[in-house]
Structure 1
């Protein structure tokens, strides 16, 4: 591995030598919960298992009937207590479990701990791992510090940044999805950052899943176009700009139908302000893929994403995408070729580009075709390999403890 200073790590420089690992993955959310973190950590866990690693998945119990889904050879789930998150009661927040994790990892010692979320469960996992001198890597997946101003608690920005910096700087490496976010966090004093992008399931998110029946249920006649939004219905998503775009686009194309997929605290207000829109609620799996593919235009006005998984999903589904030059869109979209980009924060330019989509079906169609073409090859296999390299590097650089037997299953070919 090429040695770098504490400011950052280049994933391409990380070890490529394969060995089987015992990995403890700690996350406060996981499918079937529907959110960006759950959707992107699940392919990592599945990919690590497929690559021959033994994964212990530590997460909160999602409901009373929740039971571990174990693969005796490769995957073992550990379910701990959790509490509903305020304003998102369908999601759970993990409770501190330092003692329970410490006892478990003392008996069955993982090679490396991968902490996905920075909540109470993640913090206690970090403490337990450090006490046992286990190597730890982490993910930066949610811009909590950027959300504060949207909920009237902007004064919390500095304390949140300080907590996140303290958390992540105690780990061997923090994976971030974009170079832009890496630079932002470096300016805040975060160390040992590695850029590991996100993948997209191009077999699931595919234009072939377009459904005429679904479009009819939205009130669409042949020839009508659908302006689609997918994501949380929440203040930090900048949905005021979405409504403004729709109003001006509908003046150009009166048959344009607005469909919003998702749920959240802003739903009632949005329904009151835009009663003609279709609110499809939360969707997942094959149904979500059909909703994407059944749209035509995708407008995503958020500026608070760490990555924005909906952008590659919409591109892979063959939609004409408009977004700010930020997060995933900045990495994946070439303005005017496979989508449209507006300068970050420039809402006038954003609306102007939305009007171009409304006024030119030919342009939108060309962008949609190129969107699908450019997303082929952005599957999860390459991303999982990069995560694997980060885990191997953390283990290689960690001061080893005397060997002791463990009961975590290891692959038979090791």
Structure 2
């Protein structure tokens, strides 16, 4: 059964589980790695653990000093991993079906949830199928769209075929927006469920605004700070960011661009925008202060499945300009709590950026409304819906199974 939230966010109203579940959660990225997927996965894992479920987190070892954590009802199992080309701070899993079959034969979970579709995720799917375990998945990253930005657009169809094969072998695939659900369904994906994403409004809040930080940037109290947060990479459509800020600069020479993040195109972007401030990767309260100390948030990406930075900027009280896509399309009422440009219309994006830059009162009004919208995106309700989907998958399982609870030892496989 589906219903609309007060903000018009379509969600699937699955009942929350009323018993403790043993959940094997498989992911190829997790904090302290810095990316939106890792952050949202951590929120879900922490939320499930807080709701009294046994969580077995299976992920690649991130470096030589990485060690498995263990606590009551929470255990990590570390697998072998390899660095991802062009993304040295991230690791990818390697084929591990045999190890997972051995692990789950001894410590059998009630359900396997696969958050990423790499080699480790595929191995988890094979192992779960072999053991007749209920299995569900997330569609979190548009790898198929990324291929077009790295000169390998010819891989689009093979990647889509792989993703479709992967997800259709699970009993349910969770997606963050109704628009993405429709797109994937049209592409042959089955058993799709909308489970949106939340934002930590205690961390991301206008109260984090820091005049001291703005002084470090060399801006006066009334100067305009334009903010971008995200990977500095081809898939983020950075030419639109450059064009938008150049248009802003023509009308307001004192405007300052602050870029938070890192990536393979940083040197190129620094050359194109030599006066911009490149703050690097930021975390926690420091990241929140960077958000709240800006005035206008530009997000030009066209490859997001959701776009967590959109909700973080909104919660921080910023007027957000984005394309009519992903989280922005779901949450922004253009002209009221932010601004939307038509999909892939760079000229409209640039024009809207210049208009917002010149409208101080409009930006403030939109920022206040954006903060109000974000206040409804509570992570606890998202975790409850996620939990409900897991329970539904278990109930539809091919072979119902319930073994005595056994602990999972700390360590690596």
**TM superposition score category, shorter chain reference:** over 0.9
Give the Cα separation in 1 of the matches to 2:19 and 2:401. 19
Deviation at 1:350, TM superposition (A): 1.2
Q: CA RMSD in A?
A: 1.4
Give the Cα separation in 2 of the matches to 1:351 and 1:93. 36
Equivalent residue number for residue 306 of structure 1 = 305
Query: More displaced, 101-110 or 347-356?
Result: 347-356
Give the Cα separation in 2 of the matches to 1:234 and 1:172. 34
Classify the secondary structure of the residue corresponding to 1:314: helix
Equivalent residue number for residue 5 of structure 2 = none
Deviation at 1:349, TM superposition (A): 1.4
After TM superposition, the structure 1 = structure 2 runs for residues 12-411 of structure 1, keeping only pairs within 5 Å, are: 12-71=12-71, 73-401=72-400, 403-408=402-407
Classify the secondary structure of the residue corresponding to 2:70: coil
Query: Would the aligned equivalents of 2:149 and 2:235 in 1 still touch at CA under 8 Å?
Result: yes
Classify the secondary structure of the residue corresponding to 1:91: strand
Query: Would the aligned equivalents of 2:394 and 2:400 in 1 still touch at CA under 8 Å?
Result: no
Task: Report Cα offsets for 1:182-224 as digits up to 9, x if no partner.
Answer: 1111111100000111100010001111111211111112211
Give the Cα separation in 2 of the matches to 1:335 and 1:200. 20
Task: Report Cα offsets for 1:291-331 as digits up to 9, x if no partner.
Answer: 11111100111111000000000000001110111000011
Classify the secondary structure of the residue corresponding to 1:385: helix
Deviation at 1:251, TM superposition (A): 1.2
Classify the secondary structure of the residue corresponding to 1:76: strand
Query: Would the aligned equivalents of 1:172 and 1:394 in 2 still touch at CA under 8 Å?
Result: yes
Give the Cα separation in 1 of the matches to 2:123 and 2:391. 23
Classify the secondary structure of the residue corresponding to 1:133: coil
From the superposition, tell whether residues 17 and 87 of structure 1 become closer, same or farther in structure 2 (CA, over 3 Å). Answer: closer
Query: Would the aligned equivalents of 1:22 and 1:408 in 2 still touch at CA under 8 Å?
Result: no
Give the Cα separation in 2 of the matches to 1:116 and 1:326. 22
Deviation at 1:345, TM superposition (A): 1.3
Task: Report Cα offsets for 1:218-261 as digits up to 9, x if no partner.
Answer: 11122111000000000111110111110111111111100000
Query: More displaced, 168-177 or 362-371?
Result: 362-371
Classify the secondary structure of the residue corresponding to 1:205: coil
Deviation at 1:400, TM superposition (A): 2.8
Query: Would the aligned equivalents of 1:218 and 1:278 in 2 still touch at CA under 8 Å?
Result: yes
From the superposition, tell whether residues 22 and 221 of structure 1 become closer, same or farther in structure 2 (CA, over 3 Å). Answer: same
Give the Cα separation in 2 of the matches to 1:55 and 1:264. 32
Structure 2 residue runs without a partner (length 5+): 3-9, 409-413
Classify the secondary structure of the residue corresponding to 1:68: coil
Query: More displaced, 265-274 or 345-354?
Result: 345-354
Aligned pair count reads 401
Deviation at 1:408, TM superposition (A): 3.2
Deviation at 1:406, TM superposition (A): 4.1
Query: Would the aligned equivalents of 1:202 and 1:316 in 2 still touch at CA under 8 Å?
Result: yes
TM-score by length of 1: 0.95
